[in-house]
Structure 1
Amino acid sequence: MTEPFSLLMAVYRGDHPVHFAKAFASSVGAQSRRPAQVVLVQDGPVSPGLEGAIETAIADSPVPVVHHRIDENVGLAGALAEGLALSDHDVVARMDADDISLPERFAAQLPLIEDGLDLVGTGMLEFLDDDGSIVGRRVPRSDEDEIRRYARFHDPFSHPTVVYRRSAVEHAGGYQPLGLMEDYWLFARMIHAGARVGNLPEPLVMYRVGAGAYARRGGRAQWRSEMALQRAFRRIGFTTRGEYLRNVVVRGGYRFVPEPVRKLAYRRFIARGDAPEGRDLT
């Protein structure tokens, strides 16, 4: 049975108007299987340029758009929680405001949801801000049992690529703020709660890689978020004591290695999808 689905996007003042316009168009009008509804959450005040891009996207959209404004910036988890509550459909697709969906994305993902999965991601192509050139390919684990094992060490899903059932998200407790790790925290809780999960290895989303992409993966703030995440995993029993200690050492230590080393590790072990268990570093 073919089910209608909602597209959930959030925008905030840091998003670029042109990038947003491309993200919206690629995920709505350009799709061979379009969403039945778009829920667009505006997380706090935005620039006049972005406001104009939002108005244009809504006016040109071939499907209805719910434009939900939040007066003050509440962060991604809070914005998505509010947007999810406004979705008309149980099936919801996520998209970020600066990436690009390829035309067959939803046509490929939705049948897996309709066949019984609760959460489905895809592979990604990474491209540069300046000239659009492809610089990498991220290939996720696709086997469900392997995803469940892998999730104890590394986020097995790329948030901008996922489609999920809202009921499964709500069953796991919904979006909850956790520093910079709210997506990984949600997916781990969904897996822990028994959600059926999968990934398509094909790259169906283009992920924008700008200046500072690798620098943002390190530093004290990222380390604090990492430690909070690992404590949360241990608290709910998602990881064993041994896995917790290994993650603190390996993943926590990764936040303080020099940026060139972090970039090399990411390109070698993460983006190619061949990281051995226990060595996942992002």
Structure 2
Amino acid sequence: MISVIMSVYNAEKYLSESIESILQQTYRHFEFIIINDCSSDSSLEIINKYGLIDNRIIIVNNSTNLGLTINLNKAISLAKHDFIARMDADDISIKDRFEKQINFLENNPDIDVLGSFCKDIDEEGNIISDRTVPIANSEINKLIHIINPICHPTVVFRKNKLQELGFYNEEYKVVQDYDLWLRCAAKNVKMYNLPEFLLKYRVNDGYHSRKSWKYRMTDLKIRYYGYKKLQLPFYKRIYLIVPVILGILPSWLYKLLKERDFRKTT
């Protein structure tokens, strides 16, 4: 069985579609933990509506805004099942996403973190591009010091295996997934991406605002400590400059690079 975890903050525009994409999964055996992080829009009303019609939904209503990272760990602490599935409040899971991921994990007990390809969509749900990532664990480890090789919202992972890593580092409010994958690689936790498009990933103006300097400095810090944990040779640590370069690029060029997405595999 799966524990699906979702943190929600002012997501009313896409929330219903996102929740329904989980409730309509072909794999039916899950609990769905939704944390409302003090939304000021109608998000809580939407969550409560679905909570009344589906008893698999567990609603947590924060009294103060905690942010994504803390909420993820909070949801994991409440999860009853060993498989933890990530979901964002503006994305759409393909109907057989969980069925395919659970079948793979049950047949491959050596894999602890499982992602997939995804489709980037705009605010209206139109497909912008295909987002592909390295597939095998060896390919992920080969590229992990250069780029984030896993699309965070596509992930299902084994709770007991990542528990020893402390799950997400609450020091980081952004890029928390990249920090976790770097720590997984350093501890030889095996990761894999299914070469199938199992999620529609929302890309909007807020997504491109990640070019902010504060975001990039967090990325740099995570890379710095991640490289140390991986014991990378110094010549490979040149990729510490990647966040800096992205931070000084003109917005139009940054957006173009993100749309082309250099994680694509052949």
TM-score (norm 2): 0.92
Question: Cα deviation per residue 1:251-282 (whole Å; 9 max; x = unaligned)?
Answer: 321221111221222233436446xxxxxxxx
Q: Distance in 1 between matches of 2:186 and 2:240?
A: 20
Contact 1:8 1:40 in 2 (8 A): yes
2:72 to 58, 74, 80: 80
Q: Please show how residues 9-158 of structure 1 align to structure 2 within 5 Å.
A: 9-12=6-9, 14-15=10-11, 17-28=12-23, 30-43=24-37, 45-47=38-40, 49-61=42-54, 63-114=55-106, 115-116=108-109, 117-129=111-123, 131-158=124-151
Question: Would you say 1:254 and 2:246 are equivalent positions?
Answer: yes
Q: Distance in 2 between matches of 1:238 and 1:85?
A: 31
Q: Distance in 1 between matches of 2:227 and 2:127?
A: 38
Q: Distance in 2 between matches of 1:238 and 1:185?
A: 15
Count of residue pairs the alignment pairs up: 263
Contact 2:116 2:195 in 1 (8 A): yes
Question: Would you say 1:210 and 2:207 are equivalent positions?
Answer: no
Residue 73 of structure 1 deviates from its aligned partner by 1.2
Residue 202 of structure 1 deviates from its aligned partner by 1.3
Q: Which amino acid is the alignment partner of residue 242 of structure 1?
A: Y
Q: Which amino acid is the alignment partner of residue 255 of structure 1?
A: G
Corresponding residue SS for 2:248: coil
Contact 1:233 1:239 in 2 (8 A): no
Q: Distance in 1 between matches of 2:219 and 2:112?
A: 26
Cα 1:272–1:56, aligned 2, differ >3 Å: closer, same or farther? same
Cα 1:148–1:49, aligned 2, differ >3 Å: closer, same or farther? same
Residue 240 of structure 1 deviates from its aligned partner by 3.2
Contact 2:220 2:240 in 1 (8 A): yes
Corresponding residue SS for 1:124: strand
Contact 1:226 1:252 in 2 (8 A): no
Residue 238 of structure 1 deviates from its aligned partner by 5.1
Contact 2:113 2:192 in 1 (8 A): yes
Corresponding residue SS for 1:191: helix
Deviates more, 1:120-129 or 1:255-264: 255-264
Contact 1:9 1:95 in 2 (8 A): yes
Q: Which amino acid is the alignment partner of residue 239 of structure 1?
A: L
Aligned-pair identity (%): 25
Contact 1:120 1:163 in 2 (8 A): yes
Question: Cα deviation per residue 1:98-141 (whole Å; 9 max; x = unaligned)?
Answer: 10001011111112221211110011111111x32111110111
The root-mean-square deviation of aligned C-alpha atoms, in Å, is: 1.8
Higher helix share: 2
Contact 2:118 2:131 in 1 (8 A): yes
Contact 1:38 1:64 in 2 (8 A): yes
1:243 to 236, 240, 245: 236
Question: Cα deviation per residue 1:205-253 (whole Å; 9 max; x = unaligned)?
Answer: 0011212432x23131122112211222134235332222x11223321
Q: Which amino acid is the alignment partner of residue 232 of structure 2?
A: T
Q: Which amino acid is the alignment partner of residue 65 of structure 1?
A: I
Q: Which amino acid is the alignment partner of residue 6 of structure 1?
A: S
Contact 1:152 1:238 in 2 (8 A): no
Q: Distance in 2 between matches of 1:142 and 1:192?
A: 18
Counterpart for residue 157 of structure 2: 164
Residue 64 of structure 1 deviates from its aligned partner by 2.0
Q: Which amino acid is the alignment partner of residue 148 of structure 2?
A: D
Corresponding residue SS for 2:198: strand
Question: Would you say 1:191 and 2:191 are equivalent positions?
Answer: no
Q: Which amino acid is the alignment partner of residue 82 of structure 1?
A: K
Corresponding residue SS for 1:270: coil
TM-score (norm 1): 0.87
Counterpart for residue 2 of structure 2: 5
Counterpart for residue 264 of structure 1: 256
